[in-house]
């Protein structure tokens, strides 16, 4: 395998870092909940998500304290870093610890920056979750596995960003949903969707229903956990059009998971491909096309060519 591809698309088997991954998920929930608590509501909960940056994940600028505060998880130097617009900086190390300890350190960090460390104290989208402040079990921290995961997230984000450009209709940012722990991008048909039934563990139905208020084709990446024990790409449509599950999808490694109601493409199939970016783009395009065609979306009005640097779209 080409060493450059291996560096860009590292091996990230879920099993060896399962416990660290679970801890990282909860740490990101704490950081994300701070942004959620201080930011005005944006459709589909886009005000709550995190973003991949050059060193890990960030809240972006949160309106709080002296004007604004940004919290970041640096997954290269392995620390939580907070910056305020008045110049204050605070940080603490990511290392083996309990979720309760991380929660306490995050609260102290926000307060040190002049912010308001008041946010919902229980995890979302995790069945029978323990409140952060009460979760005192020691968690491991595999720094090498975390950095490999971050590098994979950079590669994934770059492809999703390109895929995002080929759409004139409403499309989400490429962002990390810390509840479900996935990097996602979502395209919208422009039409209202049937009321979502809700029922996602530890997530109020009103949140789910607002998120799925309009027809979507959504795709993204999970590190593993929950219903699957391997890293994978996914794609689904809501509402699911008739025939979607039986649609012919590329590449060959992709398949429809009946339990999840989504198409999956194992990360390893992409990682080991001669051209990982092309394989992933093929999956994104073919699953979207199935959703749009079977759902009778106005593709001619919604789609465009992939964006190119320094090239305005022709009118």
pLDDT digits (tens, 9 = 90+) for 162-199: 999 999 999 999 999 999 999 999 999 999 999 999 99
Q: Tell me: the pLDDT tens digits for 234-281?
A: 999 999 999 999 999 999 999 999 999 999 999 999 999 999 999 999
- Which two tokens mark 32? 């994300």
Query: What pLDDT, on a 0 to 100 scale, did the predictor assign at position 1?
Result: 57
DSSP calls for 191-239: EE-PPP----TTS-HHHHHHHTSEEEEEEEEE-SBTTBSS-EEEEEEES
User: What pLDDT score was predicted for residue 270?
Assistant: 98
What is d(CA 168, CA 151) in angstroms, rounded to the nearest whole number?
A: 29
Per-residue pLDDT reduced to its tens digit, 144-159: 999 999 999 999 999 9
Whether the pLDDT of residue 94 is over 70: the answer is: yes
For residues 180 and 153, is the Cβ–Cβ distance under 8 A?
no
Percentage of the chain beyond pLDDT 90 is 96
Sign of CA dihedral 39, 44, 48, 49: negative
Q: In this structure, what are the phi and psi dihedrals at residue 222, rounded to the nearest 5 degrees?
A: -115, 145
- Does this model's pTM top 0.85? yes
């Amino acid at each position: 395998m080409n060493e450059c591809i291996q560096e860009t698309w590292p091996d990230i088997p879920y099993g060896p870092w399962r416990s660290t991954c679970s801890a990282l998920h909860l740490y990101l929930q704490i950081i994300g909940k701070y942004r959620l608590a201080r930011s005005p509501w944006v459709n589909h909960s886009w005000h709550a998500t995190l973003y991949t940056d050059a060193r890990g994940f960030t809240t972006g600028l949160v309106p709080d304290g002296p004007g604004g505060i940004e919290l970041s998880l640096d997954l290269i130097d392995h620390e939580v870093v907070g910056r305020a617009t008045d110049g204050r900086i605070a940080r603490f190390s990511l290392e083996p610890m309990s979720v309760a300890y991380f929660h306490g350190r995050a609260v102290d960090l926000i307060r040190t920056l002049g912010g308001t460390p008041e946010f919902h104290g229980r995890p979302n989208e995790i069945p029978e979750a323990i409140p952060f402040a009460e979760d005192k079990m020691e968690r491991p921290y595999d720094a090498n596995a975390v950095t490999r995961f971050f590098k994979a997230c950079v590669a994934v984000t770059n492809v999703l960003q390109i895929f995002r450009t080929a759409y004139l209709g409403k499309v989400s940012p490429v962002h990390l949903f810390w509840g479900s722990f996935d990097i996602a991008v979502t395209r919208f048909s422009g039409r209202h969707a049937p009321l979502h039934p809700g029922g996602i563990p530890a997530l109020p139905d009103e949140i789910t229903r607002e998120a799925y208020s309009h027809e979507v084709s959504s795709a993204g990446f999970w590190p593993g956990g929950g219903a699957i024990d391997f890293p994978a790409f996914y794609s689904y449509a809501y509402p699911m059009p008739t025939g979607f599950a039986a649609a012919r999808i590329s590449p060959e490694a992709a398949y429809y998971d009946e339990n999840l109601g989504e198409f999956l493409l194992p990360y390893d199939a992409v990682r080991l491909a001669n051209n990982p970016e092309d394989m992933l783009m093929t999956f994104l395009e073919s699953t979207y096309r199935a959703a749009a065609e079977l759902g009778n979306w106005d593709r001619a009005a919604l789609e465009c060519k992939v964006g190119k640097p320094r090239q305005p779209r022709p009118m």
